Amino acid sequence: MMPVAQAPVAVAHVVQNLGIGGLERVVVNLASHAHRDRYRPFIVCLGPGGPLVEQARAAGVDVFVVAKKRGFTPGTVATLARRFREMNARVVHCHNAAPLVYGALAGRITRARVVYTAHGMKTSAASQPVRLDRLGMVDAFVTVSDDARQIAIRKGGADDARVRTILNGVDTRTYRRADAAQRDRVRASLGFDSNAFVFAIVARLSPAKDHANLFRAFAALSSVNPSVRLVAVGDGELRELLAGLIQELRMQDRIVLAGAREDVADLVGAFDCFVLSSYTEGLAMTLLEAMAAELPVVATRVGGNAEVVVDGETGLIVPARNTEGLRDAMQWMAAHPSEARAMGVRGRERAASTFSIETMVNAYEDTYGRVLAGTS
């Protein structure tokens, strides 16, 4: 008699929303690249959804939007429990603290195993996930960098034996260095000369990304190297403030606020160097995407940045909130384009070997298997 094939295990990913952000792209990538013969992922958004909903659905992933009201809503727990039962979810994977509260409670009601991923430093240190972990409501506690893991242990009081690091992954097939025609086309669309040395940052215009410090560092560099340019891709609450700063620095012809873009994969490979000026991070997806596109990187020494960028090999690491250090690193990149290009090539090799989607998916699916077997 032929053995009966087991049905794939349903995995519920619980998120706040599916806006354009690093956490959200990780979740969509994780669900889209799951081994469907073993796992059947679906996504539940507590909020109104977002632009990545359709991308997930196009990849064959079911997405359910709860659109809960503000504040704690006990009825949301019941809503999630009903959805988990309908989908026969055996694993509930919660991403950051708010989804954990609702997802863990609903998961326990439906007797599902609960996996929690802390995607950022603040969530890693929050007492709420650790409290739920100690109550036995979390079967596997995951951080996206070793730095975040140490914060969860030291500041959050998590049990070091129970916290596992799984690095984010990027699809290196999507991100490539642009050919000459694409490079010229992208630069022309931004008003840049094809021969300019162009720095880029892809990040939400929020305080944590510290665009203001980056703009000041760039202005200082531009005063001695007027051929450099900077494009900031992303939108957010600081847009008007940063536009005013660009005017104050008299950089309107050299710094472009490009806004939120859905064609980042086509854009980023057309630039010369990626910069991330954050003063707090988890493990930035934009760093991985830039490396996959063969860009050298200048990044601040926060969160998992130094775990991604090998200082002096694939980029340069500088102190956070240090304008002079940021300027000096950018100046080196612009003054040494051949060396910078070689850093970018090594960066792509590192992205492919250490930060691939396949590696990330395999690690998470190993975690699901462990919690289902009770060996996590």
How far is it, in rounded angstroms, from Cα 130 to Cα 124? 9
Q: 103 with 32, same domain?
A: yes
From first to last of its 376 residues, what are the pLDDT tens digits of the chain? 445 458 899 999 999 999 888 899 999 999 999 999 999 999 999 999 999 999 999 999 999 999 998 888 999 999 999 999 999 999 999 999 889 999 999 999 999 999 999 998 666 667 777 776 766 789 999 999 999 999 888 888 888 888 999 999 998 989 999 999 999 999 999 999 989 999 999 999 999 999 999 999 999 999 999 999 999 999 999 999 999 999 999 999 999 999 998 889 899 999 999 999 999 988 899 999 999 999 999 999 998 999 999 999 999 999 999 999 999 999 999 999 999 999 999 999 999 999 999 999 999 999 999 999 987 6
The verdict on residue 2 lying in a domain is: no
Q: What is the pLDDT of residue 159?
A: 85
Instruction: Mark whether 329 and 192 lie in a shared domain.
Output: yes
Per-residue confidence (pLDDT) for residue 314, from 0 to 100: 98
CA dist 367 and 11 (Å) reads 12
Q: What is the pTM of this model?
A: 0.89
Supply the pLDDT for residue 121.
66
Q: Does residue 206 share a domain with residue 83? A: no
Q: Count of CB atoms within 10 A of residue 250's CB? A: 10
The reported pLDDT for the residue numbered 1 is 46
224 lies in some domain: yes
Instruction: Evaluate whether residue 175 is within a structural domain.
Output: no
Do 120 and 200 share a domain, yes or no?
no
User: Is residue 13 domain-shared with residue 124, that is, in the same domain?
Assistant: yes
Beta-bridge partner residues of 276? 299
Note whether residue 1 is domain-resident. Answer: no
Into how many domains does the chain fold? 2
Q: Is residue 4 part of a domain?
A: no
Q: Same structural domain for residues 156 and 247? A: no
- How much of the chain is helix, strand and coil, in % rounded to 5? 45, 20, 35
User: What secondary structure does DSSP assign to 31-79, as a single string?
Assistant: HHTS-TTTEEEEEEESSS--THHHHHHHTT-EEEE--PPSS--HHHHHH
Cα gap 305→309, rounded to integer Å: 6
User: Is residue 50 in a domain?
Assistant: yes
- Does one domain contain both 194 and 152? no
Do residue 157 and residue 294 come from a single domain? no
Residues 142 and 257 in one domain: no
Q: What CA–CA distance (Å, rounded) separates 230 from 224?
A: 15
What are the distances in angstroms from CA 209 to CA 180, 261, 300, 325? 30, 17, 10, 16
Are 273 and 363 in a shared domain?
A: no
CA 353 to each of CA 27, 84, 365: distance values in angstroms, whole numbers, following the listed order:
20, 35, 19
DSSP 250-281: T-TTTEEEEE--S-HHHHHTTSSEEEE--SS-
Give the separation between CA 96 and CA 152, rounded to whole angstroms.
Answer: 13
Q: Which domain holds residue 328?
A: 180-354
Tokens 């690249």 belong to which residue? 33
Domain membership flag for residue 3: no
Q: Facing residues of 315 across strands?
A: 297, 311
CATH number at residue 84: 3.40.50.2000
125 and 243 housed in the same domain? no
**Residue 174 belongs to some domain of the structure:** no
**Amino acid letter for position 111:** R
User: Is 131 in the same domain as 85?
Assistant: yes
